[in-house]
Amino acid sequence: MASELIVQTLKGPTSGANANKILLGSGQELYAPGHVIQVVEERLGTTQQDFTGTAWADFMSASITPSSTSSKVLVQFNIAGIYNNNTASHGLRVRINRDSGDMISQTHAYVNYLGTNVSLIGDCSHGLLDAPTTTSQVTYALQVSATTANLIRLNANLGDVSRILLMEIAG
């Protein structure tokens, strides 16, 4: 038989080793839909990477293991320091693949040519909420390509850091 406890406020002790904490017993799980369960961040570092042409190329990835099949995964990325040295504006295409091939999102970033072999350096950010319906590890991989056959450089500024962030959201 299920029981229900109705309270206005829960408070932990005000002093001691567990001051201001409410603890769950061993083996117990808090169920609160919409809260963040875990966060995974991968950073590429400051190394410049060059990509030429319109074929898709692997860029970076991160993995997360959902704790429940009802969990969602918020996938966010930022690709830093996008640069082209062409005589025309063109762009970077980015797609997110789940587990080696299922493309779940695609976006574009356009790099504007400013003249005299100088191009705008910009970033590309995108996010989506995925529902992997598994408790097995899920890998989200970013692939990139140029919109033309010309060079695109990523992490073009010293100190630029591209990253991918995964957040498990309770379902």
CA dihedral (40, 45, 50, 51) in degrees, to 10, reads: 0
Under 8 Å between Cβ of 157 and 46? no
Could you tell me the mean pLDDT of each successive run of 10 residues in the chain, 171 residues long? 84 89 83 91 85 88 96 93 68 86 74 60 84 95 85 76 94 88
Predicted pLDDT at 35 = 92
pTM attached to this predicted model: 0.79
> Residue 87: what pLDDT?
61
CATH number 2.40.50.140 is the correct assignment for the domain at 36-169 = no
Phi and psi of 93, rounded to 5°? -100, 140
- Per-residue CA distances from 163 to 98, 118, 124 (Å): 16, 25, 11
